[in-house]
Structure 1
């Protein structure tokens, strides 16, 4: 089964979210205008690329495979990877795949049908249940979704996410199946409507301008101000790969972009850079407070040429910056139930986690105790 095309009311026009004067103000921000964070956090995860099929063909992406070559992790492989992650002390199961494949991926849909699933989102739901069974909290990045799809997946996810990348129409997203900012923003809005703790971010270096970056950050801020659901914003630089001739952005470009992110976003929203892709040490004084998910057992399947740093490397980075390094859960603390928050954490309004996830946090088993130990 292939999902029907999105309707107009499931999209958000970027221009409806951004005030020109606010953009001008943000463009004036420099690294000198922000402060370094008092600590760095990260999540220990196991990375599961559920499928490499994707409806989009972004020119900088090495993750997707064309029809006939796309892979689909079988259930037994998912279960085995989850067990390896749990044994390594991970708390997060990161499920990532391209946006729901279109009708070209007949082999993927035939396989899903053979396994008893209507589509890849049904399979993702069961994979998340497997993760919970094995003692891991799911965090899913399944691309553009409707509100009802997000609400269903929230039953078995501690948090979810999708990269906005940019509000600009760039050639990197061109083609007959182009990725549009309207759909991405619609998904971020839908996550707010569904009450899902959410991660998003921007991609730097795909021919967007500095003004485009400012507009993208302010669009994220506007949606967060409506729903209070964005827990972190990733500022990710593009990296060279076999499909892309985009140059890695300069350190100075990344410093000014991270500083703009820190200035644009409320203090409770983390600013993250991926430590295997970014010049992390040079960015810490610009307001970075999170290093994202790092896996001790799996590759970064989206950027396979760039290995995760080991935990001792993260500790060196934090030590050189003079700040503590703290491991966190995939759900940031302000979205946890009151009994799991530290007293100093300003809670978000509303009830965010569904019963299945709350029960996992409260369970009297090794996994529950491992989760709660990170909240001491």
Structure 2
């Protein structure tokens, strides 16, 4: 039983034979997946407040030290990103900053917001106004929270990390795998193109990794909404005292992801956090969001590679490299199972508008290879 599944009414039927079949997968069972894609983004860390205290995370700050970007700072970051040719504004903040962060809540109230999601909506409006498509990754969300901002996002995401109960999540505010899965399910119910992923090396077993991938697959099969799954090794930093998984572990996990997931779902390995060249033959087809402007604020010790380095990675694999938008191409014109367009009227209008941003979006789409 997945921890927290009952509490959040998550009903998944992961068959033992599927787990065993996935555990038998090796890199020899998959091959390279041409071409490679990436998105050009700016990283906008709306606040570093977080209700969790995961032992591998350097993103959160303790109460009294957590920052909160002002609307002017958000606009400046987005404007610099648009000037650098970016198409995505990646909004992050810690999960549900709670009453521990009174200064953050007081500041939000002073700005006229009663919650961080209210402020996120304003931030997404700023990004759109500056010519960027928002992709928000604010951790666990209720249906009400996600619905409040979904129409202003081209796509959204949350890392599942693992379906296991691991000590790295421990403490009085431990993450619940059931809640994470409920967030992924909510995205499907609301028709939101979604990115998720697994984190390697935080205390999970190979069986846990297989179950995590199969859980994502089952939710995707219900709603057809998962656009990519990240396979990411935990990175060494000032808070994490454990080991970082080696390339052989990463190779096997990437191969498992490629076998577990439908072909339409991309498998991403972030090039600043993993030895991507060593897994290019294991089914990786996406390098994620890479910023020419901002740091990776979740992993500040690991700089984004320059575009030329991404080109070298693709050259080493013998495949073309294409830039993409934060929402994957298959969602641009389609509809979910209830017949609702994947993209809101607002996002659709931004893509179609006769503006510098609209031309930038169309230039990216024109460079993508034809649909298979």
| TM-score range for the pair, normalised by the shorter chain length | over 0.9
1:173 correspondence with 2:169: yes
2:120 equivalent among 114, 119, 124: 124
Unaligned runs of 5+ in 1: 1-5, 339-346
In structure 1, the residue matched to 2:60 is 64
In structure 1, the residue matched to 2:353 is 363
Q: CA deviation at 1:250?
A: 1.0
Structure 1 residues 292-320: Cα deviation after superposition (integer angstroms, max 9, x where no partner): 00000000000000000000000000011
In structure 2, the residue matched to 1:234 is 230
Q: CA deviation at 1:69?
A: 0.6
1:200 equivalent among 196, 202, 206: 196
Q: Contact 2:223–2:336 at 8 Å: present in 1 too?
A: no
In structure 2, the residue matched to 1:96 is 92
2:155 equivalent among 151, 156, 159: 159
Structure 1 residues 39-77: Cα deviation after superposition (integer angstroms, max 9, x where no partner): 000000000000000011100000000111100001110
In structure 2, the residue matched to 1:341 is none
When normalised by structure 1's length, the TM-score is 0.94
1:44 correspondence with 2:40: yes
- Residue 7 and residue 32 in structure 1: after superposition, are their counterparts in 2 closer, same or farther (change >3 A)? closer
Q: CA deviation at 1:284?
A: 0.7
* SS in structure 2 at match of 1:298: coil
Paired with 1:7 and 1:272, the residues of 2 have a C-alpha distance of 26
Unaligned runs of 5+ in 2: 367-372
In structure 1, the residue matched to 2:239 is 243
Q: Contact 1:52–1:72 at 8 Å: present in 2 too?
A: yes
In structure 2, the residue matched to 1:217 is 213
2:10 equivalent among 9, 12, 19: 12
In structure 1, the residue matched to 2:248 is 252
In structure 1, the residue matched to 2:369 is none
Paired with 1:237 and 1:129, the residues of 2 have a C-alpha distance of 33
- Residue 276 and residue 119 in structure 1: after superposition, are their counterparts in 2 closer, same or farther (change >3 A)? same
Q: Contact 1:273–1:290 at 8 Å: present in 2 too?
A: yes
2:134 equivalent among 138, 141, 144: 138
* SS in structure 2 at match of 1:374: helix
In structure 2, the residue matched to 1:3 is none
- Residue 37 and residue 7 in structure 1: after superposition, are their counterparts in 2 closer, same or farther (change >3 A)? closer
* SS in structure 2 at match of 1:233: strand
Q: Contact 1:144–1:183 at 8 Å: present in 2 too?
A: yes
In structure 2, the residue matched to 1:314 is 310
Q: Contact 2:39–2:323 at 8 Å: present in 1 too?
A: yes
* SS in structure 2 at match of 1:155: helix
Paired with 2:94 and 2:265, the residues of 1 have a C-alpha distance of 26
When normalised by structure 2's length, the TM-score is 0.95
* SS in structure 1 at match of 2:45: strand
1:108 equivalent among 104, 111, 118: 104
Q: Contact 1:334–1:348 at 8 Å: present in 2 too?
A: no
RMSD: 1.4
In structure 2, the residue matched to 1:343 is none
* SS in structure 2 at match of 1:293: strand
